[in-house]
């Protein structure tokens, strides 16, 4: 479990938490702007942290202009940066989802595994996307999902308690969060409708439109799983759409 943010906000902590036998991943607590001048943090790590903070700052100003610079500073200050290795699991069935996540760089996948061992991809989460297991996070119940990294990924993490505390002081963040939930609900319902009504070819075309670039970053079998079609069917559709001079 990740440590809570430094309440005093006076220093950066580098905490090495064991992930698998013989390997360790660093956790970097975001450094407040006014503390950077006196920090003894290695320059490369300090620069990386500053870049990640700037990415999130830009995203929030673009998508939630009601937030002030001070609001964003407070939101950022209680977050934790985590680096996830490719193929590393963030969540698996039976575990509690304790964090709200924002993808700074990289790519995550949410999926379930059926009793016969087949993976069913539910969501791809590339950079500049929020992610959590809504039911597990909100109700604090064990998850039924897996979340893994398809690429090395940089995340911002907020514990449930710290994010809820922000709602008390930053009403605009609460409104933004509720809008995200509403948008995700709309997307989920629309996807469900397409799953039961659209042809495989239309599903593929819409995937290309709504997930630009993802096809080049993930195995085709995962795209087929997301669309609910067989790999053979998806391969046939892609081949049929190739220009005649390329076939």
Residue 52 covered by a domain: yes
For residue 38, give the DSSP letter: G
Task: Indicate the pTM of the whole model.
Answer: 0.78
Please indicate whether residue 36 or residue 188 has the higher confidence score (pLDDT): 188
Residue 195 banded pLDDT, cuts 50, 70, 90:
confident
What is the tens place of the pLDDT at every residue in 112-155? 999 999 999 999 999 999 999 999 999 999 999 999 999 999 99
- pLDDT at 242 (0 to 100): 72
DSSP letters for 47-105: HHHHHHHHHHHHHHHHH-TTS-HHHHHHHHHT-EEEEE-TT-EEE-TTSB--EEEEEEE
228, with CB counted inside 10 A (0-12, 13-18, 19+), is middle
Residue 180 covered by a domain: no
Residue 106 covered by a domain: yes
Total domain count, the chain: 2
| Position 29 pLDDT exceeds 50 | no
Instruction: Measure the CA–CA gap between 90 and 123, rounded to whole angstroms.
Output: 14
Residue 220 covered by a domain: yes
Domain boundary among 169, 187, 206: 169
Q: Print the domain residue range for 28.
A: 14-169
Residues 61, 164: one domain? Answer: yes
| Position 8 pLDDT exceeds 70 | no
Please indicate whether residue 35 or residue 227 has the higher confidence score (pLDDT): 227
Query: Cβ distance 89 to 19 under 8 Å?
Result: no
Residues 147, 211: one domain? Answer: no
- pLDDT at 54 (0 to 100): 87
Domain boundary among 131, 151, 169: 169
Residues 218, 122: one domain? Answer: no
- pLDDT at 243 (0 to 100): 63
What is the tens place of the pLDDT at every residue in 154-176? 999 999 999 999 999 999 999 99
Paired tokens of 189: 């319902």
Residues 37, 132: one domain? Answer: yes
């Amino acid at each position: 479990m990740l440590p809570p943010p430094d309440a005093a906000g006076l220093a950066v902590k580098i905490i090495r938490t064991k992930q698998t036998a013989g390997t360790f991943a660093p956790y970097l607590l975001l450094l407040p702007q006014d503390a950077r001048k006196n920090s003894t943090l290695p320059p490369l790590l300090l620069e990386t942290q500053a870049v990640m903070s700037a990415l999130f700052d830009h995203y929030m100003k673009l998508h939630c202009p009601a937030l002030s610079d001070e609001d964003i500073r407070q939101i950022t200050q209680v977050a934790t940066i985590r680096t996830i290795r490719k193929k590393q699991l963030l969540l698996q069935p039976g575990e509690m989802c304790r964090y709200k996540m924002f993808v700074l760089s990289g790519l995550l996948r949410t999926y379930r595994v059926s009793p016969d061992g087949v993976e069913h991809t539910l969501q791809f989460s590339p950079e500049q996307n929020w992610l959590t297991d809504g039911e597990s996070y909100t109700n604090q119940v064990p998850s039924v999902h897996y979340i893994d990294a398809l690429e090395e990924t940089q995340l911002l993490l907020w514990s449930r308690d710290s994010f809820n505390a922000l709602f008390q002081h930053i009403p605009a963040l609460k409104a933004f969060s509720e809008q995200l939930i509403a948008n995700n609900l709309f997307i989920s319902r629309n996807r469900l409708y397409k799953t039961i009504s659209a042809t495989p070819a239309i599903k593929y075309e819409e995937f290309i439109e709504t997930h630009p670039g993802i096809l080049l970053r993930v195995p085709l079998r995962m795209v087929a799983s997301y669309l609910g079609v067989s790999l053979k069917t998806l391969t046939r559709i892609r081949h049929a759409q190739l220009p005649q001079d390329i076939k």
